[in-house]
Amino acid sequence: MSLRTEAAAPPRRESPKQPKPEQHTSPMSRRRSLTGWTFLLPASLLIVAMNFWPMLQAFILSLQTGRGARLGFAEPLWYNYERLMSDQLFWMTLRTTMTYLIVQVPIMLILALILANILNNPNLRFKGLWRTAIFLPCAVSLVSYALVFRTMFSNDGIVNDWLVALNLADGPINWLGQTDTAQFVLVLGLLWRWTGFNMIFYLAALQTIDRSSIEAARVDGASALQTFWYVTLPQLRPMILLTAIMSTNGTIQLFDESYNLTQGGPAYTTMTVSHYLYSVSFEGSPNFGYAAAVSYVILFIIAVLAAAQLKIGDKRD
């Protein structure tokens, strides 16, 4: 029996590993990066100088006590914040502000959403006129419209004249002299001015929605309400979240209406927390350290509410 021997294959030589070439940034790339930072630097410095530096100064000021320009660091440093915990007027103005927030913001956003949906109808006539008319109050000066509402709801104002003429009231109602009616007038003024502002945001978002999805829902037999609830509303969620955060921040910082419409009365029951901050800062004997502590509490409340709204409303995966 013959045997056939096979020649052994020669061993494979491994080629030596070539060192990876070092990646050097080209002069053109470095120049572009430097150019970008050069353009960003002035804006960044302005943001730091106009926003973050004053915030730091305000925090340092909140740790000081004294009247006028005679300020010194408090003992203990958190004295102003301890004082806030027992300040009944501060808590009353905070409760009033939260009442405006809970009552006014949901009504305003729902009205704005309904109006935007109506004005987005392609078959509606004079759409430009209606949109302008609803948005126009937003362009009115804050002081001007507050004074107009104050005149309308005065004891001899046009509202009382109409109510008496229509036999809906036996006599003039002291709208601004009673807590409930004064708060009602303030909320009414806020709704009149800011509903159109939020409506524009919703109207812009509605016009970006693909109408084929709405038409498909109609073909499948969905009613107008079902189409709005299950098709339109989910696509408006980011815009609803944005307007909710903006409206919440604006309401907590509400000042002009409280100051110009009711002067915080009667007996501080319509005063907002921002109006109280102004009063502590510039009326009577100014206490800038305590006012700075109030401002930081307002900042903390806004941050917490905004974070909660983002947590609840932002459902992105």
* Percent of the chain predicted with pLDDT > 70: 90
Among the ranges given (31-35, 79-83, 166-170), the one the predictor scored with the smallest mean pLDDT: 31-35
Per the DSSP assignment, residues forming a β-bridge with 73 are: 64
- Residue 79: closest CA among 67, 59, 61, 64: 64
pLDDT band at 254; cut points 50, 70, 90? very high
d(CA 298, CA 294): 6
Asked if pLDDT for residue 294 goes beyond 60, the answer is: yes
pLDDT averaged over the chain?
86
SS3 annotation, 46-82: HHHHHHHHHHHHHHHHHCEEEECCEEEECCCCCHHHH
Q: Give the pLDDT confidence score for residue 18 in this predicted structure.
A: 56
Q: How many angstroms from the chain centroid is the CA of residue 56? A: 22
Q: Give the pLDDT confidence score for residue 25 in this predicted structure.
A: 62
Give residue limits of the domains in the chain. 88-313
* Percent of the chain predicted with pLDDT > 90: 46
Average pLDDT over residues 278-283: 90
Q: Give the pLDDT confidence score for residue 317 in this predicted structure.
A: 47
Q: Which residue has the tokens 């020649």?
A: 7
Average pLDDT over residues 193-208: 92
Instruction: Give the model confidence (pLDDT) of 223-237 as tens digits.
Output: 888 888 888 888 899
- Which class in CATH covers the domain with range 88-313? mainly alpha
Among the ranges given (18-22, 161-165, 289-293), the one the predictor scored with the smallest mean pLDDT: 18-22
Q: Give the pLDDT confidence score for residue 212 in this predicted structure.
A: 81
Q: How many angstroms from the chain centroid is the CA of residue 190? A: 14
Asked if pLDDT for residue 95 goes beyond 70, the answer is: yes
**SS3 call for 214:** helix
pLDDT band at 271; cut points 50, 70, 90? very high
Structural Rg of the chain based on CA atoms: 31
Asked if pLDDT for residue 23 goes beyond 60, the answer is: no
d(CA 207, CA 120): 7
- Residue 90: closest CA among 306, 282, 271, 305: 271
Q: Give the pLDDT confidence score for residue 243 in this predicted structure.
A: 94
Asked if pLDDT for residue 6 goes beyond 60, the answer is: no
Contact 104, 251 (CB under 8 A): yes
